[in-house]
Structure 1
Amino acid sequence: MAAGVMLEYSVEARRIDVHGSVATTKQAEITLDTNVKGRPDAFNPAETACHHPSTAQKSWHG
């Protein structure tokens, strides 16, 4: 990819219940962990940032 090229993404997140949310883009969908007790079946962006800060920064900030 050329340096300085900015990509745009459209991602929508919606709450499904008190334990989680779903993020979608195009036809892709991922369950998000928004339960304070945690969910082993869902992605938690905060845990990713804590364990892999350099990877999370690239993933979430371009």
Structure 2
Amino acid sequence: MLSQIAQVEVTIEYDETKFRPLDIPVMIGSHEKITHETEWLPTIPINKTLLDIYNTYCN
């Protein structure tokens, strides 16, 4: 998403020698648990958040 905002092509390369046996290969966040416990819902889409961060660092 951020590469689209910045309009750059990103190539992700992995160096298998840098991984440790206990490293988590992929971690994906979710607001599901906090929504269930507190009825909180996000009001700002992630794309807007990323755009705001990008614009802050560019200016």
Fold equivalence (TM over 0.5): no
- TM-score interval, smaller chain: under 0.3
Of Structure 1 and Structure 2, the greater helix share is in 2
Of Structure 1 and Structure 2, the greater strand share is in 1
Higher relative contact order (Cα pairs below 8 Å, separated by 6+ residues) = 2
What TM-score, normalized by structure 1, do the two folds share?
0.23
